[in-house]
Amino acid sequence: MAQTVVLHKIMHVREQEKKAAQKEQLKATEHFEEVATNLYKTLKTKEEAEHSLQTYMQTEATITRIKEQSLYIRTLNEKIATLQKHVQNARRQMEVKQAKLTEAHVEVKKIEKMIEKRKQEQFERARKLETIELDEISIRQYSAHVQNR
């Protein structure tokens, strides 16, 4: 019985670690989604800016306006490159946190299996002792019955 108490304490600690890993994984996922959404919006803005540039070039727009739009697109390209790096880093962090969560989950399952196995062993020992005791009682009763004859 004492063995399972220790395992229950260990399992409690592992469950706390698992909960912490879940929180970290959730934060990492939210961060990834935030950065990826920002990248998507920037790509969408760039697409609209390129469309506007095409429109300016087809109409009688000033060279200044075309230069401004081209500079804006160049700035967006730089921002997109930076955001892509951030997205990759966020994805890596999310994957690391997911791996930690999976590992924590596996550890909890291992402890649960050990507890279950120990309980089963204790049950088997108790059943075996009960059988032995019943056998001894039967033998005593039989001996007493034979001696009384």
CATH code of the domain in which 34 resides: 1.10.287.620
Q: How far apart are the C-alpha atoms of 112 and 89, rounded to whole Å?
A: 35
Question: Could you tell me if residue 124 is inside a domain?
Answer: no
Q: What share of the chain in percent tops pLDDT 70?
A: 98
Chain-wide mean pLDDT for the chain? Answer: 91
Q: Are 94 and 32 in contact (CB under 8 A)?
A: yes
Condensed to tens digits (0 to 9), the pLDDT of residues 11-61 reads 899 999 999 999 999 999 999 999 999 999 999 999 999 998 888 888 877
Q: Does residue 30 fall inside a structural domain?
A: yes
pLDDT of the residue at 112:
92
Domain that holds residue 104: 2-117
C-alpha dihedral over 35, 40, 42, 47, to 10 degrees? 170
Residue 142 covered by a domain: no
**Residue 40 maps to a domain:** yes
> How many folded domains does the chain comprise?
1
Does residue 149 sit within a domain?
no
